[in-house]
């Protein structure tokens, strides 16, 4: 379907869980490494040494935020690549065994696990409760003597539920100390503590685009002693796990973005929670039968995912877009094909309910005025969709 957006409408972006704009401080930090300081960080001349120094400094910043050593951080091409390096790396290093994950993981985790299942690894997928919470006991119950890897996300990208990663990792290790634990923390960055020692994880994935950094760059924490088999081979950069010329500008930008996000995390979370709760309450008041998807309290500060019963989520998205409001469907979208959200289905929603859900995610640029604008136009949009 093709439609024309109302060019006169106020533009409100509420899709920060998808990606965020690059922070101005981040752009300033990146600029020299795209222009005057452009050398390859592997080159053995003065300019190359300067690029190497920038990468090393950025690595130290990321390590400091994660409470790890610099040697435990490798830079990647994004969150998905980081996940693939971690999961394929562990499995292929061991060669055989059992893997545990949850049904609400990002596709990069679920699809990688399913690919490993086709390679001969056994896979157990833990279901969440109706609020999108994966229980500690449910994960621990799946751990066996031959389990080699468990991957449970820190915070869900669709419904914003925060998982008890520290407790899950502890329970897993208590049952089988040899199991390696990975968490996808891409959505948690900037909202939750990333202290890997406190969390008790062996591997942790983060990326830049969710925290006002550049797209196409991420990082993987690999606890000292954990061995991964490389997926790619080449020049040996990033401990041989991500070979190729380093994206110096992207890496510098990522580190700066993470530094800012961690610095402002608590203050910004308080602000966003206030906006989130008032916005969610009004949406539910304005729409009879509407329900919040995901736990009301154990969720990210910026996430609102709502089921609008009897309303097509796709149609609602079109009308919102025409009004200049950018949100996202509560469903997975791959290669332009939209289907019911695997997360909502795992939580017990029907296909119809999953297709009637929309996600609004707030960010640094979101203001009370933005929320008020959405609330002003929303009743008319819902009225059109429920009377047609």
Catalytically annotated residue among 234, 274, 333, 351: 333
Upper half-sphere CA count for residue 70 (Cβ side, 13 Å): 9
More confident call, 300 vs 2: 300
pLDDT at 388: 60
* Number of other residues whose CB lies within 10 A of the CB of residue 284: 16
Rounded to 5°, the CA angle 177-162-206 comes to 75
Query: Token pair for residue 230?
Result: 């490389």
Average pLDDT over residues 90-99: 97
pLDDT at position 335 is 42
Active site residue 113: no
Pairwise CA distance, residues 183 & 10, whole Å:
38
Question: Where do we find the tokens 């965020």?
Answer: 20
Q: Tens digits of per-residue pLDDT, 311-342?
A: 999 999 999 999 999 999 865 455 455 689 99
What does the alpha-carbon distance between residue 219 and residue 251 come to, in Å, rounded to a whole number? Answer: 9
**Per mean pLDDT, which range of 141-155, 200-214, 263-277, 333-347 is the poorest?**
333-347
pLDDT (0 to 100) of residue 339: 81
pLDDT of residue 6: 42
Q: Please give the domain boundaries of the chain with CATH numbers for all domains.
A: 12-22+264-387 (3.90.1150.10), 24-260 (3.40.640.10)
Q: Rounded to an integer, what distance in angstroms lies between the CA atom of residue 265 and that of residue 108?
A: 26
Spell out the residues 6+ positions from residue 93 whose beta carbon is closer than 8 angstroms to its own.
227, 228, 229
């Amino acid at each position: 379907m093709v439609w024309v957006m109302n060019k006169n409408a106020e533009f409100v972006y509420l899709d920060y869980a998808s990606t965020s704009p690059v922070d101005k401080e981040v752009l300033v930090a990146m600029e020299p490494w795209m222009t005057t300081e452009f050398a390859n960080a592997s080159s053995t001349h003065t300019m190359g040494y300067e690029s190497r120094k920038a990468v090393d400094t950025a690595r130290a910043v990321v390590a400091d935020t994660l409470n790890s050593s610099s040697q435990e951080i490798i830079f990647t091409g994004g969150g998905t690549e980081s996940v693939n390096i971690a999961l394929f790396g562990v499995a292929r290093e061991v060669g055989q065994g059992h893997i545990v994950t949850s049904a609400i993981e990002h596709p990069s985790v679920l699809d990688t696990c399913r690919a490993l299942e086709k390679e001969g690894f056994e896979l157990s997928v833990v279901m969440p409760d109706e609020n999108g919470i994966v229980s500690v006991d449910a994960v621990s119950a799946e751990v066996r003597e031959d389990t080699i890897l468990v991957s449970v996300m820190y915070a869900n990208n669709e419904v914003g539920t925060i998982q008890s990663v520290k407790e899950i990792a502890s329970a897993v290790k208590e049952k089988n100390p040899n199991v390696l634990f990975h968490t996808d923390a891409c959505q948690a960055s900037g909202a939750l503590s990333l202290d890997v020692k406190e969390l008790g994880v062996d591997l942790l994935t983060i990326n830049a685009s969710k925290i006002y950094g550049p797209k196409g760059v991420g990082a993987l924490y690999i606890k000292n002693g954990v061995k991964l088999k490389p997926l790619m081979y080449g020049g040996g950069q990033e401990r041989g796990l991500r070979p190729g010329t380093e994206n110096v500008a992207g890496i510098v930008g990522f580190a700066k973005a993470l530094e800012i996000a961690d610095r402002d995390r608590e203050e910004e979370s308080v602000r966003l929670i206030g906006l989130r709760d008032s916005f969610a309450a009004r949406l539910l008041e304005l729409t009879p039968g509407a329900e919040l998807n995901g736990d009301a309290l154990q969720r990210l500060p910026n996430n609102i995912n709502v089921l609008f019963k009897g309303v097509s989520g796709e149609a609602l998205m079109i009308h919102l877009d025409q009004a200049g409001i950018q949100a996202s469907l509560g469903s997975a979208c791959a290669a332009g094909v939209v289907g019911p959200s695997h997360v909502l289905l795992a939580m017990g929603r029907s296909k119809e309910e999953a297709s009637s859900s929309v996600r609004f995610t707030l960010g640094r640029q979101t203001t009370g005025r933005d929320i008020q604008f959405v609330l002003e136009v929303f009743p008319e949009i819902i009225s059109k969709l429920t009377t047609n």
